[in-house]
Structure 1
Amino acid sequence: MALYDAPRLFGFELESTENLSFIPLVVRFNLDRFGQRISLDQWRRLPHGDRELLARFPVEDDAAIEPNFDRALAEMLRTHTDAVPETFAPDSDPIWAHTDVVPETVIRQSSLCGIGLPSLGRWSELSPFQRYALAKLSRKSEVNHDFVPAMREFGLAD
């Protein structure tokens, strides 16, 4: 599978990633799926071109990208931060992968933000990457400033 031509950023992320100063959701998605974790400091120590490359990896469910993502990230960190990514066992059944239930955290975040809940039908129509984004943005118990813009971008809020 080929890399995207440009970093895969949602519209609502363009400002919040501050030109890749913060780890975009596409990179977080692949880190979480492949059981890797890096710090914000490690991310920021990577050259912009490397951060951009990591943000161009596919988000489709394709095991063929795992070794490429792993190798690229490990080499970048070794070269520029003299570190390796922390590894962990990825969640084998993440809530965002389910289309039969809207996660409780998404329901809670919708309520905190004062917007309507996504219907189960609309939730199930989202791509896995979109469901991941909403689940990631709603994991904390306080309002996330990107949650409402994400819901709007995905057609779930006015």
Structure 2
Amino acid sequence: MNQASHCFGFEKDFVGNWRCIPLCVRRKLDLIGVKLKLSHWMEFTREQRQNLVDWPDQPSALSGMREHLRKLTLETADGMVKDLPIAVEEPWQTLAVIPKAVQQAAWERSASIGTNQWADLFELERFALCKLARPGHDHHNLDAAFSEILG
């Protein structure tokens, strides 16, 4: 799996037109510590959005993405993107412990996920499950995510 640009099947409703920020881009944003609003995203051209989807996720490339996004959003209605803490030791980056929200969501769906299976997932897959299972999030893609990722 090419984590940098992989879009999940459950994201197919907006792949291509990019009306939502796909999880592969959201992961890169967390890795570089940038808060990109959906309103920013919607001001970008389809080509600019595709460029962000295709952006490599090696550390050297990601630092360039941060600068690119600052320049790209400087003149937008919401102004330049804001900095956030860079993701370090986030639950989706930890192999040894399945986050409680993911465990709970799996249990509620009669899905099974063990520590070894969690550790074997790609970081993007762990990221997706963590983001979709977090409290207060719209969980409409969570069933499909569990099926696709754990299936």
- Shorter chain as normaliser: what TM range? 0.7 to 0.9
TM-score, normalising length from structure 2? 0.86
Match of 1:21 in 2: 19
Sort the Cα spacing of 1:155 and 1:110 in 2 relative to 1 into closer, same or farther, 3 A: closer
Structure 1: give runs of 5+ residues left out of the alignment: none
Over the matched positions of the two proteins, sequence identity in percent amounts to: 24
Count of paired positions: 149
> In the alignment, which of 115, 130, 138 is matched to residue 133 of structure 2?
138
1:57 to partner: Cα distance: 1.6
Distance in 1 of aligned mates of 2:142 and 2:27: 16
1:18 to partner: Cα distance: 7.5
1:35 to partner: Cα distance: 0.6
> In the alignment, which of 8, 11, 16 is matched to residue 9 of structure 2?
11
Which segments of structure 1 move beyond 3 Å, counting only runs of 4 or more?
A: 79-82
Determine if the alignment matches structure 1 residue 154 to structure 2 residue 149: yes
Tell me the C-alpha RMSD between the 2 structures. 2.3
Q: Superposition pairs for residues 1-158 of structure 1, below 5 Å?
A: 7-15=5-13, 19-59=17-57, 62-81=58-77, 83-112=79-108, 114-141=109-136, 144-156=139-151
1:96 to partner: Cα distance: 0.8
Structure 2: give runs of 5+ residues left out of the alignment: none
Sort the Cα spacing of 1:82 and 1:138 in 2 relative to 1 into closer, same or farther, 3 A: closer
Q: Which moved more, 1:41-50 or 1:140-149?
A: 140-149
